Structure 1
Amino acid sequence: MTLIADDHTASELPQLVSLDPRDGSAVASYPVADAAEVDRTVAAARSDADWWAAQGFAGRKRHLLAFKGQVAAGARDLAAVISRETGKPAGDALLEVVLTLTHLDWAAKRAGRVLQRRKVAAGLINYNQKASVGYEPYGVVGVIGPWNYPFYTPMGSISYALAAGNAVVFKPSELTPATAKWVEDAWNRAVPGHQVLRVVVGDGATGGALAASGVDKVAFTGSPGTARKVMAAAAANLTPIVVEAGGKDAMIVAADADLDAAVDAAVFGAMGNAGQTCAGVERIYVVGSVAEAFTTKLVAAAAKLAPGGDDAASYGPMTLGRQSEVIAGHIAAALADGGTALLGGPESVAGGYVGPVILRDVPESCAAVREETFGPVVVVNTVADLDEAVSRTNAVDYGLTASIFTKDLHAGARLANRLRAGAVTVNSVLGFAGIPGLPFGGRGESGFGRIHGDAGLREFSVVKSVAVQTRSAMIKLLTMDRSEKDMHLTERMLHLLHDPKKH
């Protein structure tokens, strides 16, 4: 990303130029939205929000499926834009598009069933009330997206917010504005004349302006530090926020695990997308009896990978160039504190490209174990048993995802219930990513709130309860003129319903 002054007049907004991290070539250039432009965009979105809410579930479903059709028809073109802005191979970018469309389709078709008004039992005392609960749109939702999965991740909020009846103002990462603009254009082709999805381009100041603009809810994906800044900006208007702030995801390998399957998943989770996956694998705890066999297989598999700038490469460069400095720092500190490099090392960090790195016996206090490395680096530490693996997994401040490999599926399920994580997979990594019915989100430093699934639809909805009195109450309590008879009957009913001696 590069910010440059506009060449035309000094009064015009500066331009943001997105760059291909593989060669530094320009992908696209857009005006940077300042606070005033953000406010204008949000104000314009409000009129579209009214129209969108009025379409009802059936109307929104029809428009969302038309939007999905536009994206599907241009999937290869969109993947090419994603590839250029992130540096990831085109095949990886196309997979991102496919997974995203699965969620968009599900949200469009499911929203009516999840959010429609439904009856609620009023109870014996309130027999004269007809109770129901329903869900209404917030209005305008601001979405602040990341650069590592510039389509899949923000669309996890956008798809569900739209399906719930909200208009969306989307501020993409400053590294990937062309991807967002492509999506906005696809919407305008599918639903001409109604800009329910609008994009504002800019840097951190633009994101802060969106959070402070008075939107009705904010969905943010990024680092915990930036999340705190966004929350502070949103707090001025008491704007609710959902946060996905990364992870330090662990894999547990039991003594009975299928080691080949575990290795295949570990390499994918740790090295795929150049390790730039918040829900991947950054640390592995393997039971001692299989530790040597596992690490031998892991090193052999990862050694076959090589980063590069073409589609034949295993993965691409660091999308964010300065991330290489973080990665180099984590590796150096781990080795200085007694860790061992089984594959690669400091020399693996070569400018914007980082070769696969496997570290062993790294102290649990090191940044490589406790902080997000966000590169193709994985720590493998040996544990005495699964209890120790659970304890170490839960010891960090992050709590996004984790994975377990064991042939005992019952034991795997029991372990999953003990892990402090928002999502756990057994015998796979990222197995939940393509299951739209599963909510996604974390705890601790990984954030709060959920996208995807029924919970994701409700996340972008306001609950409204309605009680309709259909007849007069036999016992009149909601009055300033309560009778002694009614109070006597109430006390008798209290003991009848709630006194443990009566049950």
Structure 2
Amino acid sequence: MDRAGGLRTAHPLRHRAHADRRAARRPACAGHRVTAVVSRIRDRLAPAPEDVGPATRRAREAQPAWAARPVRQRAAIALRFHDLLLENEDEILDLLQWEVGKARIHALQEVAAVAGVARHYGRRAAHYLRDRRRRGAVPLLTHVTEVRHPKGVVGIVGPWNYPLFLSIGDALPALLAGNAVVIKADEKTPLSVLWAAELLARAGLPPGLLHVVTGDGPVVGAALIDQVDYVCFTGSTRTGRVVGKQAAGRLIGCSLELGGKNPMIVRADADLDRAVEGAVQACFSNGGQLCLSVERIYVHERIAEEFTRRFADRAARMRLGAHYDYTDDMGPLVSQRHLRTVEEHVEDARRKGATVRAGGRARPDISPLCYEPTVLTGVTAEMTVHAEETFGPVVSVYPVSSDEQAVALANSGSYGLSASVWTKDTERGRALARRIIAGAVNVNDGFGAAIGSVDALMGGMRESGVGRRHGAEGMLKYTEAQTIAVQRLVPMPPQPGVGLARNATLINASLAMMRRLRLR
């Protein structure tokens, strides 16, 4: 690849075969736009492919000069990238749809999210990274400054479902913090990441700072973690445990956003029209292939049947398809393997007594990988779909008798990523949100309000992850904090030339005085 780095694929022919199958599932009306983009980028797979080792070495060589640049110069590149992203929006929308299968509206939401990250850190990086004065041990005599240094080379292991947002969206704060970055893109979706890397080069990112590699996860991902100074991983809880263990073995930091079985609570006083529409968005955006997707809904028994009827009717009326326009409400799933998982979860529930209120079947007549938005009731604990993440367009609805029962059920299980509460009493909604074990709780929204608020932290509790993206921590996690303490006039005790007993008296007197003066 040119200025942005290189794409390494361990199995280029296998990826091309996958790409051909992906193209075959698309309608002929996809036209020349996506074909031209794919052909241009895919040609870069062949010449002089880089592996993880050379990519990491080049990144390490380029990083010191980049870190020496003023933060505002680095941030200006993110803002130029923001503008270029919007100028070339149709191209990346086509590519996201082609690789992932998502409806165009969901591809647009992903692009908008990345633009929001670029804009936020482009404007706030200098503030987050500035030197900060801290209180010294001895007032007036100890001058303390906290400074931030980049980690060095950051490794990002991104997933297939939001390849732009969950790779480039994490790379931007790492780069602006002064690091070089090597992204391990998922084998299903490397081209979207490579496209964005090219765009960053056009925005002015110097050569060697950003590399994109791909290949078998356990092999290439493990090699990457063995060579970088920090790793950011988004994916399953099972794989996250492996990543965390490997990072701990090297004594490097990591952030992990992992799985979720996200709950939604609908109180008896909720606006049903808004709650139903919110549930559609929360459950079926990107075909439910989203770590923040709602997979279980707890509805007060007084409105449970009415809510379920309206929700199932709305789900059944969703427009399914694979068009490169804004015709469809939901697109196909990402792969045949993923489709089989969704089918197995629904069939297991049906066989064990659950009721399918909407959906419940594949739609090969629309697309080979299309599955209907599915609403289940009567789901019990012995069903796979009850507690295991489906990661597809399937949701279970449960009646509850009180807020207390709803919160208790929402907190059941081992995850804690995202949650949603619907009520006309927003103060009560806030109070319930505080009781839910989740990294983010949205009141009268599914998940977009929290994830779109880039100034606020986003991440999981319990088995849903470690660390946070966005906000100050989303950038500072890619840095090392250093304390510089300058002692003036009088050295720290014990004072030379004074006996130890006298030094002890002076220390105790100083502590008492600082307590009386309320000094921290």
Could you state the TM-score of these two structures normalised by the residue count of structure 1?
A: 0.90
CA contact (8 A) 1:34 1:206 kept: no
CA contact (8 A) 1:21 1:317 kept: no
1:274 is aligned to 287
Indicate whether 1:76 and 2:75 are aligned: no
Greater shift, 168-177 or 350-359, is seen at 350-359
Aligned-pair CA distance for 1:295 = 0.7
Indicate whether 1:221 and 2:234 are aligned: yes
1:65 is aligned to 79
2:459 is aligned to 441
Indicate whether 1:457 and 2:475 are aligned: yes
2:424 to 386, 407, 411: 407
User: In the aligned structure 1, how far is the partner of 2:349 from the partner of 2:55?
Assistant: 47
Q: Structure 1 residues 250, 441: closer, same or farther in 2, change over 3 A?
A: same
Q: Structure 1 residues 330, 372: closer, same or farther in 2, change over 3 A?
A: same
Greater shift, 343-352 or 390-399, is seen at 343-352
1:477 to 494, 498, 503: 494
1:16 is aligned to 15
Aligned-pair CA distance for 1:77 = 0.7
Residues 98-140 of structure 1, C-alpha deviations (whole Å, 9 max, x = no match):
22111111112101111211111225x4542101212211111
Q: Structure 1 residues 152, 61: closer, same or farther in 2, change over 3 A?
A: same
- CA RMSD after TM alignment: 2.6
User: In the aligned structure 2, how far is the partner of 1:449 from the partner of 1:76?
Assistant: 33
2:340 is aligned to 325
User: In the aligned structure 2, how far is the partner of 1:48 from the partner of 1:24?
Assistant: 41
User: In the aligned structure 1, how far is the partner of 2:117 from the partner of 2:301?
Assistant: 40
Greater shift, 328-337 or 463-472, is seen at 328-337
Aligned-pair CA distance for 1:464 = 1.2
2:117 is aligned to 103
User: In the aligned structure 1, how far is the partner of 2:125 from the partner of 2:195?
Assistant: 25
Indicate whether 1:355 and 2:372 are aligned: yes
Q: Structure 1 residues 35, 236: closer, same or farther in 2, change over 3 A?
A: farther
Question: Helix, strand or coil for the counterpart of 2:24?
Answer: coil
2:5 is aligned to none
1:6 is aligned to none
Residues 339-363 of structure 1, C-alpha deviations (whole Å, 9 max, x = no match):
2211122566985211011001211
Q: Structure 1 residues 479, 251: closer, same or farther in 2, change over 3 A?
A: farther
2:350 to 307, 312, 335: 335
Indicate whether 1:230 and 2:243 are aligned: yes
CA contact (8 A) 1:22 1:316 kept: no
Identity %: 34
1:4 is aligned to none
Question: For residues 183-198 of structure 1, what are the structure 2 equivalents within 5 Å?
Answer: 183-191=196-204, 193-198=206-211
Q: Structure 1 residues 34, 193: closer, same or farther in 2, change over 3 A?
A: closer
Q: Structure 1 residues 479, 246: closer, same or farther in 2, change over 3 A?
A: farther
Q: Structure 1 residues 192, 336: closer, same or farther in 2, change over 3 A?
A: closer
Indicate whether 1:134 and 2:151 are aligned: no
Indicate whether 1:88 and 2:102 are aligned: yes
Aligned-pair CA distance for 1:193 = 4.6
2:444 is aligned to 427
CA contact (8 A) 1:343 1:358 kept: yes
Question: Helix, strand or coil for the counterpart of 1:402?
Answer: strand
Residues 229-257 of structure 1, C-alpha deviations (whole Å, 9 max, x = no match):
22333344222111111211110000101
Q: Structure 1 residues 489, 228: closer, same or farther in 2, change over 3 A?
A: same
CA contact (8 A) 2:457 2:469 kept: yes
User: In the aligned structure 2, how far is the partner of 1:192 from the partner of 1:166?
Assistant: 12
Aligned-pair CA distance for 1:495 = 5.5
Question: For residues 37-76 of structure 1, what are the structure 2 equivalents within 5 Å?
Answer: 37-76=51-90
CA contact (8 A) 2:313 2:358 kept: no
Could you state the TM-score of these two structures normalised by the residue count of structure 2?
A: 0.87
2:306 is aligned to 293
Aligned-pair CA distance for 1:476 = 2.1
**Code of the aligned partner of 2:156:** V
Aligned-pair CA distance for 1:181 = 1.1
Q: Structure 1 residues 35, 219: closer, same or farther in 2, change over 3 A?
A: farther
2:214 is aligned to 201
Aligned-pair CA distance for 1:366 = 3.2
1:390 to 398, 403, 407: 407
Question: Helix, strand or coil for the counterpart of 1:134?
Answer: strand
Question: Helix, strand or coil for the counterpart of 2:169?
Answer: helix
User: In the aligned structure 1, how far is the partner of 2:466 from the partner of 2:43?
Assistant: 34
Indicate whether 1:262 and 2:279 are aligned: no
Aligned-pair CA distance for 1:63 = 2.0
1:120 is aligned to 134
Question: Helix, strand or coil for the counterpart of 1:439?
Answer: coil
Q: Structure 1 residues 56, 136: closer, same or farther in 2, change over 3 A?
A: same
- Alignment length (residue pairs): 486
User: In the aligned structure 2, how far is the partner of 1:273 from the partner of 1:36?
Assistant: 32
1:8 is aligned to none
User: In the aligned structure 1, how far is the partner of 2:505 from the partner of 2:467?
Assistant: 45
User: In the aligned structure 2, how far is the partner of 1:480 from the partner of 1:429?
Assistant: 68
Indicate whether 1:370 and 2:384 are aligned: no
User: In the aligned structure 2, how far is the partner of 1:494 from the partner of 1:92?
Assistant: 59
Q: Which has the higher helix share?
A: 2
User: In the aligned structure 2, how far is the partner of 1:478 from the partner of 1:322?
Assistant: 71
| Structure 1 unaligned regions, length at least 5 | 1-10
Aligned-pair CA distance for 1:73 = 2.0
Question: Helix, strand or coil for the counterpart of 1:353?
Answer: coil
**Code of the aligned partner of 2:464:** S
CA contact (8 A) 2:295 2:394 kept: yes
Greater shift, 40-49 or 193-202, is seen at 193-202
Residues 64-84 of structure 1, C-alpha deviations (whole Å, 9 max, x = no match):
222223322212111111111
Indicate whether 1:467 and 2:485 are aligned: yes
CA contact (8 A) 1:291 1:382 kept: yes
Residues 193-229 of structure 1, C-alpha deviations (whole Å, 9 max, x = no match):
523221112221222211122x111111111112222
Indicate whether 1:210 and 2:224 are aligned: yes
User: In the aligned structure 2, how far is the partner of 1:192 from the partner of 1:114?
Assistant: 20
User: In the aligned structure 1, how far is the partner of 2:145 from the partner of 2:415?
Assistant: 38
User: In the aligned structure 2, how far is the partner of 1:357 from the partner of 1:15?
Assistant: 33
**Code of the aligned partner of 1:447:** G
User: In the aligned structure 2, how far is the partner of 1:187 from the partner of 1:122?
Assistant: 41
CA contact (8 A) 1:284 1:381 kept: yes
Aligned-pair CA distance for 1:326 = 1.5
CA contact (8 A) 1:151 1:179 kept: yes
Greater shift, 128-137 or 235-244, is seen at 235-244
| Structure 2 unaligned regions, length at least 5 | 1-9, 27-34
User: In the aligned structure 2, how far is the partner of 1:302 from the partner of 1:178?
Assistant: 32
CA contact (8 A) 1:35 1:206 kept: no
Indicate whether 1:307 and 2:308 are aligned: no
Q: Structure 1 residues 12, 253: closer, same or farther in 2, change over 3 A?
A: closer
Q: Structure 1 residues 375, 216: closer, same or farther in 2, change over 3 A?
A: same
